Amino acid sequence: MILPDNPSQVCCFTGHRDISPEKEALLSPLLTLTLRNLLLDRGFTDYLCGGAVGFDIIAAEHFLTLRDQYHAGKLHLLLPFPGYDDRWPPESRERLQSLMEKADSVLYAADHSFPGVYYKRDRMLVNLSSLCVAYLTRSRGGTYYTVSYAYDAKKEIINLAKLPQMGIY
């Protein structure tokens, strides 16, 4: 994975896995607007995705649409370990596989599963970036851990779930 020397140009994604089609439909316009602003107005060049079902994949897919439209920015997948998606439903595995084929790079936090490997991936996402685009609605789980870690690391956080116009809590 080749990233800029300065993480000020790097954004990571984190969010809940359970995004209903209704929530995704409401979230999509704001996500696209946010990513377009980061890409075109704020100069973010690199986008890190942890590859989880739900928000991670949705955000990466939206970014790829913008990357293709504006010919700008790079998507880097930072996955926990090879084969971590082995037990996923076929549709979810296909979406991840498509992202892997379209990403500018794919990196693994570890070469095998072990207790804490997902937290290691989450910390890497935050440490390599200056901004975290999140979809956080509850104070527990991996997304909460990642956003808390970003907050403690004094990273900028955009929580799309907390923007009032969303109405999708």
Where in the chain are the domains? Answer: 7-162
Which of the residue ranges 2-6, 12-16, 63-67 would you say has the lowest mean pLDDT?
Answer: 2-6
- In the DSSP assignment, the letter for residue 138 is S
- How would CATH label the architecture of 7-162? 3-Layer(aba) Sandwich (3.40)
Given a cut of 90, whether residue 164 has pLDDT beyond it is no
Distances (CA, A) of 122 to 37, 41, 51, 65: 24, 26, 11, 24
Does the structure show a pLDDT above 60 at 93? yes
How far apart CA 157 and CA 155 sit, in angstroms, is 6
pTM above 0.85, yes or no: yes
pLDDT in tens, 47-92: 999 999 999 999 999 999 999 999 999 999 999 999 999 999 999 9
* 20 or 133, greater pLDDT: 133
**Count of beta carbons in the 10 Å neighbourhood of residue 27:** 22
Read off φ and ψ for residue 131, nearest 5 degrees.
-140, 140
